[in-house]
Amino acid sequence: MKKTTTLLAVLSLAFATTATAEVKNLTLVSWGGAYQASQQKAYSKPYGAENGIKFTWDESSSEAVNKLRTQAESGDISWDLVDVVAADAIRLCDEGLARPVDADSELAAAPDGTPASKDFGDLIVSECFIPQIVYSTTWGFRNDIAEWNGNKPSTICDIFDVKKFPGKRAILPGAVSNMEWGAYCAGNKDVYESLKTKEGQQAALDKWSSIKDNLVFAASAADVPQLLTDGEVVMGSTYNGRLFSLIAESGAKNVEMLWDAQVFDLDGWIVPAKLPAEREAAVMKFVKYATDTQRLADQSKYISYGPARNSSAPLVGKHADLGIDMAPHMPTDPNNAKNTILTNYEFWADYRDDIDAKWEAWKAQ
């Protein structure tokens, strides 16, 4: 008995020392590639230099939901901060795998004192979600098509006008964004209200049916710039960052952007639920820093995704390597964001399975 007590005492002491020991290493999860590099340059490098913290990066964001489920089941949570799209954040929050965050007390206020919840505004789509960037699914088109007689598509519904703009269009294979555009151009300006009804869904699909012979379904988002470059299609929709690298980074002069009715989507952080207290404290400190006004604006030096805070917009500067002004390439820039659709996550959580089935069936017809 006595032995056990001593043992317990020693063990708890051992735990106590590790518990008070400072956290020196944080594991962050992101998407890899240019996006993760932008996070490293804007957030983790300066923070690590100041605070002596090392960062380990895991490029697992695309499988974050499944992997977090497994980690939660085994009780061994090895990630401290996970970059996910908003829809995944909502799902993780629903499933109790992400920790709720109180924006006003746990995130930085804007420089002028506006509380974080106001600064992020509608973009806090879930109590667990810390918004970071706004990206959009939008269109790029070729400007060297002879049959167009010098016309350029200027509104989203020009996509469906194959008389004025003959040629093939590449679209992403999923229903999200495409159904919105179908509904919008079928004349239902309140896109999500109409998509809740069977008639509205059918109207959106019918709109796409009208140009189905001109559609190419891209296998992935990376395919679309390639199809545009090869001249396989005259227009294509994909993430704005992909089109930015085609136009600005690889300098394709014959491709332009069509920003009208771009579909906004969000990406941001979630903190896994049930982290040990000291790791949670360390990661909350980091995330407060990494999502403040200046840091979000800094990220846009390296990638063409819009900062999620209102107060960051005026601070967006030039691209770090190309030296071009980034503002005109931001989906959130006032000139580009005249007419936008913000993805309705609640709607997609409810109707995803149903609409996916209809969309796939329509594709297979």
Partner 1 sequence: MSEVLLTKDGRPLHQSLARALLRNKIRALLLIAPLLIFLVITYVMPIFSVLYKSVNNDVVYEIIPQTAQQLMEWEGDADTAPPEEIYASFATEMLIAAKAREHGRLGVHYNKDISGLSSKFRKLGRAIKKWDFEDGQSFKDKFVELDEFWGKPDTWAQLKVYSSPYTMGNFARAVDGNLTVDGFQMRPENERFLFKLFVRTMGLSLFITIMTIVLGYPVAWLLANVSTRTANLLMIMVLLPFWTSLLVRTASWRVLLQDSGVLNSLFQWANEKVPFLFNGAPYELMYNQLAVVIAMTHILMPFMILPMYSVMKTINPSYLRAAKSMGATDWTAFWRVYFPLTVSGIGAGAILVFILAVGYYITPAIVGGTDGIFISNSIAGYLKSNQGLGAALASLLLFIVLVLYFIYDRIVGVDNMKLG
Q: Does 325 bind partner 1 (CB under 8 A)?
A: no
Nearby residues of 185 by Cβ (< 8 Å), 6 or more positions away: 156, 157, 159, 160, 207
* Angle in degrees, CA 187, 189, 192, rounded to 5: 115
Smallest distance, Å, CB 246 to partner 1? Answer: 17
x-marked contacts with partner 1 along 49-78 as a string, rule CB under 8 A:
-----------------x------------
Contact 43, 49 (CB under 8 A): no
Interface of this chain with partner 1, residues 242 to 281, rule: CB under 8 A: 273
Contact 93, 57 (CB under 8 A): no
**Residues across the chain:** 365
Q: Of 209 and 310, which has the nearer Cβ to partner 1?
A: 209
Q: Of 187 and 231, which has the nearer Cβ to partner 1?
A: 231
End-to-end alpha carbon distance in the chain: 74
Interface of this chain with partner 1, residues 338 to 357, rule: CB under 8 A: 346, 349-354, 356-357
Among 70-78, 178-186, 228-236, 303-311, the segment contacting partner 1 (CB under 8 A): 228-236
Smallest distance, Å, CB 283 to partner 1? Answer: 19
Residue appearing with tokens 């895991």: 58
Smallest distance, Å, CB 24 to partner 1? Answer: 30
SS3 state at 318: strand
Q: Does 301 bind partner 1 (CB under 8 A)?
A: no
User: Rounded to an integer, what distance in angstroms lies between the CA atom of residue 307 and that of residue 296?
Assistant: 5
* 111, 231, 317, 328: which one binds partner 1 (CB under 8 A): 231
x-marked contacts with partner 1 along 184-223 as a string, rule CB under 8 A:
------------------x--x----------xx-x----
Q: Does 333 bind partner 1 (CB under 8 A)?
A: no
C-alpha dihedral (307, 309, 310, 311), degrees to nearest 10: -100
* 28, 29, 93, 125: which one binds partner 1 (CB under 8 A): 93
Residue appearing with tokens 């806090």: 124
* Angle in degrees, CA 321, 243, 129, rounded to 5: 85
- The 3-state secondary structure of 120-132, one letter per residue: HHHHCCCCCCEEE
Interface of this chain with partner 1, residues 95 to 114, rule: CB under 8 A: 95-96
Contact 184, 203 (CB under 8 A): no
- Which stretches of the chain bind partner 1, using CB under 8 A? 66, 91, 93-96, 202, 205, 216-217, 219, 230-232, 273, 346, 349-354, 356-358, 360-365
